Amino acid sequence: MLLVVVFVGVVVGLVRPRPSRFGRPRAVAVVFAAAFAQVLSTATHAALHGVLLVASLSLGVVWVGLQRRHLATLLLGIGVALNVAVIAANNGMPVDAGALETVGRRNADVTDGFLYKHVPMNGSTRLTWLGDRIPVPIQRNVISVGDVLMAVAIGLWVADNVGSWWMGRRSAGPVHGEHGRGPGREVVGGGD
């Protein structure tokens, strides 16, 4: 899903170039540290697994807090908060078996694979509406409301940065003595 979101963001940025509204994401190293802690948690003892998973989620929350205040940050923050809430309430992200069946993965063991943070959704699951229950057939997976909000935020950031970059490229003026268009769309260049 992330690749699709990035692709759509790139296309939107190229089609609608404009000055950046959001700015580039800050402290990207914190995101890499969060991802590293989560991956490392899969290869450790059960007690350390929980600590590393909490560290990973905490680093993600810190990273969201370091971003500039705008719509993408708000959506990302809400998405992270919803996922953290449902994971904390259930000791893992609950996955709806019916949604998995919809995407052709009947009887899938959700506790195996993908960073081992998933649990089956059942009658004792809390905050079920926040769990992984939205089918994504093209990916053969299910996602949560929080995942959707985070994807929209990432798409906004990509579109904003690509649009800003593309606008700058188009208004850079002439290259090697050729005519071009300035920021006000006036013809510039073409040295005599």
- Is the distance from CB of 93 to CB of 86 less than 8 angstroms? yes
pLDDT of res. 30: 81
Q: How far is CA 81 from CA 24, 74, 88, 113, 146, in A?
A: 22, 10, 10, 23, 8
- The residue behind tokens 């990509």 is 158
Q: What is the pLDDT of residues 99-113, one digit of tens each?
A: 888 888 888 877 766
Q: How many CA atoms lie within 13 A of 129 on its CB side?
A: 0
Give residue 183's pLDDT band: very low, low, confident or very high (50, 70, 90): low
Q: How many residues does the chain have?
A: 192
Amino acid at 19: P
Question: Worst-scoring range by mean pLDDT, 1-15, 51-65, 105-119, 158-172?
Answer: 105-119
Q: Tally Cβ neighbours within 10 Å of residue 190.
A: 10
Q: Residue range 75-98: average pLDDT?
A: 88
pLDDT of res. 115: 47
Letter string b/e over residues 79-114, b meaning 16 or more CB atoms within 10 A of that residue's CB: bbebbbebbeebebbbbbbebbebbebeebebeeee
- Is the distance from CB of 89 to CB of 126 less than 8 angstroms? yes
Mean of pLDDT over the chain: 79
Domain boundaries, the chain: 2-19+28-90+145-189
This prediction's pTM: 0.71
Q: Residue range 175-190: average pLDDT?
A: 54
pLDDT of res. 77: 85
| Residue 12: pLDDT over 50 | yes
Q: Residue range 68-97: average pLDDT?
A: 86
pLDDT of res. 187: 56
Q: Residue range 39-53: average pLDDT?
A: 70
Give residue 181's pLDDT band: very low, low, confident or very high (50, 70, 90): low
Give residue 74's pLDDT band: very low, low, confident or very high (50, 70, 90): confident
Give residue 26's pLDDT band: very low, low, confident or very high (50, 70, 90): confident
| Residue 84: pLDDT over 80 | yes
